[in-house]
Amino acid sequence: MKSNVPVAKNRLGLIFFPAYDWAITPDHPEREERLLYTHDQIIEEGLLDVEGIYEFKPELATEKDVARVHICVPNVKTLATTSHLISAGGAITAAKKYIEGVVDKAFALVRPPGHHAFRVVHGNRGFCNINNEAIMVEWLRTNYNPELKVVFIDTDAHHADGTQDIYYHDPNVLHISIHQDGRTLYPGTGFTWELGGPGAMAKTLNIPLPPGTTDEGYLYVIDELILPILEEFKPDLIINSAGQDNHYSDPLTNMGITAQGYAELNHRLNPHLAVLQGGYSIEDALPYTNLGILLAMAGLDYSNLKEPDYHPSRSRQDSRTMDQIKQIVEQVRYYWENRDRLISDEFETIGNGYYQREREIFYDTDYISEKQKETVKVCNTPDCHGHIFIKSIGTHLGIYKKRVSIAAVIIPRLVCKECQQIAREKYEEYCQKGQYHYVYLQNQVNEEYLRWVRE
């Protein structure tokens, strides 16, 4: 007698963490109900009874896991609550179960989100304190393969400016963000000309789509642009940064994707891992979009997945918007195909292989204004990723306008001995001068994460 219980084509691991004890405010869009309705839907559909779908408890990320990615001002403990560490640890758990062969794919349904958290963190911006998916990748590189080639495909409606920043100079990471045009939505960035640092040109690709983009428009981007690029890049690991605020019912955005669209998008991308990011239509979208991603990753049928108000017309794209999408695809394709000839317009050449840029970063949640100067070394030694010097001043824009100045030295895990020595000497120089409140060393080669504090 055959069992009626379905069997997943792909063994899928689910890691669930709603963070009951953390919220920006009780009625903030980024709150625990984002996941509670989804979990109820998963149970109601009986998916935890499906053979091949497993639920795992998230582990706790360590302070070292965070310091491997972030310069936390003043320190990790101040910025990362236990909920943040469990969210990052949930992503690590997903990666661990996948890399150890326990599952074929894994989906971390965790919060708080992380893709707006930059390398340097003065506070919360875009609902994010620490970058859970970057912490996951650097844990994998530290524990399994330092040369891991990774693709992030971020499908959140908001530009993934934090993950972009962390990997802007890493030629082994291809970061692709598909989002609502930054001229119409926070954080106001993610334009096609943001292509990566001078040593990693076109390893950052931004696809800013017009408001009103539907399933048809998104899937055109996947088929005509993303899949051919993935075939050429040949990553070891594909990660879907699974933001779901592109849904037509989301209160914070202006896009038109459906749960069917999310499922089909995920089916075509075929990621190894997915990490939840945004999505704020708590009852009308998230239970359906998360379910669609889950079904697609497990290799189960999602053809009957529909929101209560679904109509096939929602998936169709109007011709004017589709023409705009096609133009954007052609522009990004040009950058990718000509990546070896591109010269960065963002960075000024200052000699001896060093490049520099200055920028201002606003923390919308914690109301902090940061002025940052970033100096990057592009080394001619094969397989050396150079080093990075960062000077940053964060001004807390409250009554007292507290200002905190920091300097940071970043030594990536793939670096020649000369670049490593120069960077170490720069750290010592910053400490001796005593010009900054804090000086940080982030040395991924030796797993050395230091902080000097001015007395």
Instruction: Report the catalytic residues.
Output: 116
How many helical (H) and strand (E) elements, i.e. helices and strands, does the chain have? 12, 17
**Rounded CA separation 402/396 (Å):** 5
Amino acid at position 187, single letter = P
Residue 52 near residue 119 (C-beta atoms within 8 A): no
Give the contacts of 84 (CB within 8 A, at least 6 positions apart): 22, 112, 129, 130, 132
Q: Which of 390, 379, 12 is nearest to 198 (CA)?
A: 379
Residue bearing tokens 């094969």: 382
Q: What is the DSSP string of 391-413?
A: EEEEEE-SSS--EEEEEEEEE-S
C-alpha dihedral sign at 95, 281, 23, 36: negative
Amino acid at position 4, single letter = N
- The gap from C-alpha 339 to its chain's centroid, in whole angstroms, comes to 22
Residue 66 near residue 135 (C-beta atoms within 8 A): yes
**Rounded CA separation 314/418 (Å):** 57
**Rounded CA separation 393/324 (Å):** 39
Considering only CA atoms, give the Rg of the chain. 21
β-pairing, 273-276 with 237-242?
A: parallel
- Going from the C-alpha of 9 to that of each of 52, 102, 197, 239, 296, the distances in angstroms are 8, 14, 40, 19, 10
DSSP 62: P
DSSP 27: T
Give the contacts of 421 (CB within 8 A, at least 6 positions apart): none
CB-CB neighbours of 312 under 10 Å: 10
Q: Which of 26, 157, 160, 134 is nearest to 71 (CA)?
A: 134
- Going from the C-alpha of 118 to that of each of 125, 126, 133, 197, 310, the distances in angstroms are 9, 11, 12, 15, 37
Residue 327 near residue 217 (C-beta atoms within 8 A): no
